Structure 1
Amino acid sequence: MTARRFRSRALLASGAGLAFVATLGLGGAGTADARSVDDAGPTTVTPAGHYFAATLTGSATFTAGSVTVTCNVSTSQPTAGGGDASNQIPSAPGNHNDAGPVVSSLNSPTYSSCTANLPGVTVSVTTSGAWGVAMQNADTPAATLTIPSGGFVLQTAGLANCTVTAAPAAAANLNTTFANGSPSTLTVTDGTVPVQVTGGFGCPTAATSSVFNATYQVTDVTDPSQQITVTS
């Protein structure tokens, strides 16, 4: 997938359907969130074959030591014209799994409207690779969001010239909960992901992990009158 770079004071991009209210704390040691969608129980995601989008509402913050980046816009959208299976619920019967999650690929999210808490610093974000989401029904439906290796790179320029690479060595998973609604939502609570930070003065180069909190709204692009749902 072609990498996307967005500059400004920015991070998270918009579209029709995923509220991405996020906090990414870059500090201390850690590894990717070990939790994942478990394989218990049947799962059905509907409407089968429909495309979906994810759009940020509110703001997102990424904190590395004393440096905080706040982002206001983000989206993951289907490929124009629906030319591939990205951001698409599998067609029946693939939208049902008797004993595990239903998996969809995602176009890498775009990011814009980000600011840093340092004067004279600009932010750019590049995303790439095969992102994905696996949705599992349960008493509280869950989902696992997968970031591919090196699939998220944040750079600052100005007073602090830093590069933060998420999942630097291997793909990382963020555990989320899924709530059916109008629109439905995905929520990440204190998910962790490995990071590598490089740069000079002002860069949190000792950071090896991040903590991520996010809420996404997921909407049906094929038929906006319908809702994306996870059931048994």
Structure 2
Amino acid sequence: MTAPLPRLRARTLFAAGAGLSLTAALALTGAGTATAGTTPSGTASTADAASTTVTPAGHSFTATLNGKATFKAGSVTVTCTVSSSAPSTGSANNRVPDAPGNHNASGPVSNDINPPTFSGCTTSMPGVRAAVETSGTWTVAMQNGDPIVATLGMPAAGFKLTTTGLASCTVTAAPTGPADLPAVFTNGDADNPSQITLTNAPAPVKVEGGFGCPTAAKTSAFSAVYDVTDVTDAASRILVGD
């Protein structure tokens, strides 16, 4: 018998100037943005921290890009058609904490996730190939509020974008230590999955390579929308409330 969806108050997704075109962009810039009600790093400030509960407790989840992912490094645009973070056998990653760990009376609820994978990548330049490699244990933290603040934690050197051919570059995100990427979480309903949205989330980068590589860039901006689905019970939704 399928359990009914938990009755938690849904929050409205805040997307700054963007429709629901499900794309991701890694644009090498010198500035970042912060979500309203957060610190510059994107995490909820202590004064704003509220009670947070993530349900269903103990359920595993997958985050899947719904559409294309686009990464821009200098003059090269890389488009990937597949990206996801999924649970794996024998690992507690991608799993809502068991009760009472799925509740925090005055702050976020966090858990480890497997690194998102990217494949089916092409570039906008003839003769240039691209590949994305991720590694390490990533994290995701949810802070109840309006909007619901999500923080994607990237381990040191956990993301590498490499181009080969006419332009041979390597872009390493979080090159010297872990980085937190600010995001927004929106609760799903009976017809739609929950989502995590990153909009120009800043992260430090190191760019290496020769001609055509933007080696002066020190900061990246990452944007993406991922559908978050419950794989323990497909009829349930991963929800954030108080």
Q: TM-score range by the shorter chain?
A: 0.7 to 0.9
2:122 pairs with 1:105: no
Q: Distance in 1 between matches of 2:224 and 2:204?
A: 17
Q: Distance in 1 between matches of 2:32 and 2:236?
A: 40
Contact 1:54–1:218 (8 Å) recurs in 2: yes
State the one-letter code of the partner of 1:112: S
What does 1:44-55 correspond to in 2, within 5 Å?
A: 44-55=53-64
Paired residue for 2:6?
none
Shift of 1:200: 1.0
Per the alignment, in what secondary structure is the counterpart of residue 41 of structure 1? Answer: coil
2:152 pairs with 1:150: no
Q: Distance in 1 between matches of 2:161 and 2:134?
A: 9
Shift of 1:139: 2.3
Paired residue for 1:78?
87
Q: Deviations over 1:77-115 (max 9, x none)?
A: 0013xx121000000110000011000101011110111
Paired residue for 1:3?
none
Shift of 1:29: 6.6
Change (3 A) 1:94 1:20: farther
- Which has the higher mean CA deviation after the structures are superposed, 27-36 or 50-59? 27-36
Match of 1:42 among 40, 51, 55: 51
> For structure 2, which runs of at least 5 residues remain unmatched after alignment?
1-20, 35-39
Paired residue for 1:13?
none
What does 1:202-221 correspond to in 2, within 5 Å?
A: 202-221=212-231
Q: Distance in 1 between matches of 2:125 and 2:209?
A: 16
Q: Distance in 2 between matches of 1:28 and 1:44?
A: 35
Match of 1:172 among 175, 179, 185: 179
Change (3 A) 1:31 1:179: closer
* TM-score, with length taken from structure 1: 0.87
Contact 1:27–1:206 (8 Å) recurs in 2: no
Shift of 1:66: 1.3
> For structure 1, which runs of at least 5 residues remain unmatched after alignment?
1-18
State the one-letter code of the partner of 1:187: T
Per the alignment, in what secondary structure is the counterpart of residue 203 of structure 2? Answer: strand
Per the alignment, in what secondary structure is the counterpart of residue 220 of structure 2? Answer: strand
State the one-letter code of the partner of 1:184: S
Paired residue for 2:66?
57
Q: Identity of aligned pairs, percent?
A: 57
Shift of 1:31: 10
| RMSD, aligned CA | 1.8
Change (3 A) 1:213 1:200: same
State the one-letter code of the partner of 2:41: A
Shift of 1:35: 2.2
Q: Distance in 1 between matches of 2:77 and 2:183?
A: 23
Paired residue for 2:131?
124
Q: Distance in 1 between matches of 2:147 and 2:70?
A: 26
Paired residue for 2:30?
28
Contact 1:29–1:208 (8 Å) recurs in 2: no
Q: How many residues align?
A: 212
Q: Distance in 1 between matches of 2:235 and 2:44?
A: 28
Shift of 1:36: 1.0
Per the alignment, in what secondary structure is the counterpart of residue 153 of structure 2? Answer: strand
2:197 pairs with 1:187: yes
State the one-letter code of the partner of 2:159: F
